[in-house]
């Protein structure tokens, strides 16, 4: 394996040349284990790496932290020492979730991606509004959009055709294929995208067949999915972590866990856009901190009683609010961690200063 097989190119090499003098090595991040990351080196070696305090510290938002697909400069540790990410190279493309508004709410799905494949079906997963949002974030990433209307074996030709047509109408630049893993149909078209150094990522709801398609492309037993679980309706080997894989014949694939719709667009602007009517009603609740439960004084509940508001809509609203609250909390935690590091750095510095002063004094 060479760096080029992993997606390395001249622009990365040029940026890296200034860092190489430190003895650091280029590596691509392939897995995020929360505390550590998996990284691939040019010789094909896979290593576990940690972020240096500086890299962590210099990132103003989570989106700026090294993510799967990023190229980094690694300080290779000796026998017992950790391999440390000393710098992240600029992203040539960045595929992230964020519809509008605040930069802090951006979440990187994968960096340095050329093609994003959305996997859906002509049946229960089909949703043009969601597709529109996928197209919006793919467009921003500058990657090419490909859509698979998968599981074609489960639906009529007519249904598959109609679904594919609707998607093509929505985005004439997207390549749309009707596919079936079961019948192994139209999958050859996908192989077109697999070229050395080209990075492809797969997104879509859970259970649409992303990992199955990837398995097929990998041509082996790298990953696997199982029969559909009767209770959850999902393959039992639902993907839990993002992972980058390099194909022997050329091409780089990143599998993603299924994206829950609510997770995709958790920014407050979108929340307000989507639930303007509920927000308006909420202004008339008796208490400012109304939880909109089934009690007197809640304007939303009153509207529901009059048949002007559906329960499912309120539930959707509450769920999104909860997601946003969680996001805020994790951001706060991050800020606290940074503050703690600041204090640690400060203590460390003053300790060193004291030590030096004492030494000077003794001398």
Ligand X SMILES: Nc1nc2c(ncn2[C@@H]2O[C@H](COP(=O)(O)OP(=O)(O)OP(=O)(O)O)[C@@H](O)[C@H]2O)c(=O)[nH]1
Contacts of 344 (CB under 8 A, 6+ apart): none
CA distances from 160 to 123, 167, 233, 331 (A): 9, 11, 21, 42
Provide the mask over 99-128, with x wherever binding to ligand X is found by CB under 6 A and - wherever it is not: --------------------x---------
Dist CA 122 CA 15 (whole Å): 44
Q: Scan for tokens 């070229």, then name that residue.
A: 195
What's the DSSP call for residue 19? H
Provide the mask over 124-153, with x wherever binding to ligand X is found by CB under 6 A and - wherever it is not: --------------------------xx-x
3-state secondary structure of 97: strand
The nearest distance, CB 136 to Zn ion, in angstroms, is 31
Query: Six-digit token pair at 342?
Result: 């600041």
Q: Which of 290, 302, 303, 318 binds Zn ion (CB under 5 A)?
A: 290
- Closest residue to ligand X, judged by C-beta, is 258
The nearest distance, CB 327 to Zn ion, in angstroms, is 22
Of 79, 11, 76, which is closest to residue 39 (Cα–Cα)? 76
**Binding status of residue 212 toward Mg ion by CB under 5 A:** no
**Binding status of residue 303 toward Zn ion by CB under 5 A:** no
Contact 181, 96 (CB under 8 A): no
Dist CA 94 CA 63 (whole Å): 10
Q: Interface residues for ligand X in 321-350 (CB under 6 A)?
A: none
Dist CA 31 CA 48 (whole Å): 9
Nearer to Mg ion, 71 or 202 (CB): 202
Q: Which stretch binds Zn ion (CB under 5 A): 15-23, 236-244, 279-287, 306-314?
A: 279-287
**Binding status of residue 256 toward Mg ion by CB under 5 A:** no
* First-last CA distance in the chain: 56
Query: Six-digit token pair at 308?
Result: 């002007």
**Binding status of residue 292 toward Zn ion by CB under 5 A:** yes
**Binding status of residue 6 toward Zn ion by CB under 5 A:** no
Q: Which stretch binds ligand X (CB under 6 A): 67-75, 96-104, 210-218, 327-335?
A: 210-218
Query: Six-digit token pair at 168?
Result: 């093509």
Query: Six-digit token pair at 246?
Result: 């390099």
The nearest distance, CB 250 to Mg ion, in angstroms, is 22
Nearer to Mg ion, 98 or 210 (CB): 210
Residue 290 touches which member of Zn ion, Mg ion, ligand X, none, C-beta under 5-8 Å by kind: Zn ion
**Binding status of residue 263 toward ligand X by CB under 6 A:** no
Nearer to Mg ion, 254 or 300 (CB): 254
Of 312, 328, 321, which is closest to residue 282 (Cα–Cα)? 321
Binding site for Zn ion (CB under 5 A): 285, 290, 292, 298, 300
Binding site for ligand X (CB under 6 A): 119, 150-151, 153-154, 180-182, 204, 206-212, 225, 227-228, 234-235, 237-239, 257-258
């Amino acid at each position: 394996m060479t760096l080029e097989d992993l997606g390395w190119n001249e622009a990365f090499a040029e940026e890296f040349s200034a860092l190489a003098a430190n003895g650091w090595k280029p590596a691509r991040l392939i897995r995020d284990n929360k505390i550590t990351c998996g990284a691939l080196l040019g010789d094909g070696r896979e290593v576990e790496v940690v972020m240096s305090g500086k890299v962590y510290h210099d990132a103003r938002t989570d989106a700026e932290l090294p993510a799967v697909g990023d190229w980094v400069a690694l300080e290779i540790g000796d026998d017992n020492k950790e391999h440390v990410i000393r710098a992240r190279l600029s992203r040539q493309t960045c595929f992230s979730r964020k519809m509008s508004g605040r930069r802090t709410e951006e979440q990187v799905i994968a960096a340095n991606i050329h093609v994003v494949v959305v996997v859906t079906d002509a049946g229960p997963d089909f949703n043009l509004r969601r597709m529109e949002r996928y197209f919006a974030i793919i467009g921003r990433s500058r990657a090419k959009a490909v859509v698979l209307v998968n599981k074609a074996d489960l639906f009529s030709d007519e249904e598959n055709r109609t679904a594919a047509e609707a998607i093509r109408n929505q985005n004439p630049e997207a390549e749309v294929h009707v596919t079936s893993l079961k019948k192994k149909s139209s999958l050859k078209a996908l192989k077109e995208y697999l070229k050395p150094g080209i990075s492809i990522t797969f997104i879509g709801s859970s259970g649409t067949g992303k990992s199955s398609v990837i398995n097929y492309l990998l041509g082996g037993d790298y990953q696997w999915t199982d029969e559909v679980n009767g209770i959850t309706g999902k393959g039992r080997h639902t993907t839990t972590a993002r992972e980058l894989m390099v194909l022997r014949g050329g091409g780089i694939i990143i599998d993603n866990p299924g994206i829950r719709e609510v997770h995709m667009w958790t920014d407050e602007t979108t929340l307000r856009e989507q639930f303007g009517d509920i927000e308006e009603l909420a202004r008339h609740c008796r208490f400012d901190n109304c939880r909109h439960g089934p009690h007197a004084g809640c304007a939303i509940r009153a509207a529901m009683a009059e048949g002007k508001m559906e329960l499912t809509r309120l539930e959707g609203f509450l769920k999104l609010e909860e997601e946003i609250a969680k996001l805020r909390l994790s951001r706060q935690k991050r800020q606290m961690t940074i503050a703690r590091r600041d204090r640690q750095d400060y203590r460390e510095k003053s300790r060193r200063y004291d030590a030096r002063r004492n030494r000077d004094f003794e001398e």
